[in-house]
Amino acid sequence: MTTMSSVVEMVVNARPVRAEVQPRTTLLDFLRDELGLTGTHAGCEQGACGACNVLLDGRVVRACLVLTVAASGSEVTTVEHLGTPDLLHPVQEALWRHHGLQCGYCTPGIVMTAVDLLSRISAPSDAQVREALSGNLCRCTGYAGMVAAIVEAGRTRDEQAGVE
Ligand code: FES
Ligand code: FES
Question: Going residue by residue through the chain (164 aa), what tens digit of pLDDT does each one get?
Answer: 557 899 999 999 999 999 999 999 999 999 999 999 999 999 999 999 999 999 999 999 999 999 999 999 999 999 999 989 899 999 999 999 999 999 999 999 999 999 999 999 999 999 999 999 999 999 999 999 999 999 999 999 878 776 43
> Which residues have CB under 8 Å from 106's CB, separation 6+?
41, 43, 49, 50, 51, 136, 137, 138, 139, 141
Q: In this structure, which residue's CA is closest to atom 2 in ligand 2?
A: 103
DSSP 74-87: SEEE-GGGT--SSS
Q: How far is the CA of 43 from the centre of ligand 2 (A)?
A: 11
Q: How many Å apart are CA 139 and CA 153, to the nearest integer?
A: 23
Ligand sitting nearest the alpha carbon of 31: 1
H/E stretch holding 62 reads strand 59-62
Which structural domains are found in the chain, ordered by start?
A: 6-80 (3.10.20.30), 90-163 (1.10.150.120)
Q: Euclidean distance between the first and final Cα of the chain, in Å?
A: 61
Largest CA distance in the chain: 63
Q: In this structure, which residue's CA is closest to atom 3 in ligand 1?
A: 47
Q: What is the pLDDT of residue 124?
A: 98
